[in-house]
Amino acid sequence: MMVAKKAPNPIDKHVGSRVRMRRMMLNMSQEKLGDALGLTFQQVQKYEKGTNRIGASRLQQISNILQVPVEFFFEGAPHVAGSPRFEGDAPSPAYVSDFLASSDGLALTKAFMRISDLKLRRRIVDLVEQIATSDKR
Distances in whole angstroms, Cα of residue 37 to Cα of each of 17, 32, 34, 51, 57 = 17, 9, 5, 18, 11
Q: What is the pLDDT of residues 9-66, one digit of tens each?
A: 899 999 999 999 999 999 999 999 999 999 999 999 999 999 999 999 999 999 999 9
Tens digits of per-residue pLDDT, 63-104? 999 999 999 999 888 766 655 554 444 445 566 767 777 888
Architecture of domain 7-78+93-101: Orthogonal Bundle (1.10)
Whole-model pTM above 0.85?
no
- Region of 87 please: left (phi>0), alpha (psi -120 to 50) or beta: beta
Residue 44 near residue 30 (C-beta atoms within 8 A): yes
Residue 7: CB atoms within 10 Å: 9
Kindly list the domain boundaries of the chain, sorted by start residue.
7-78+93-101, 103-137
Residues 6+ apart with CB under 8 A from 97: 14, 17, 18, 21, 76
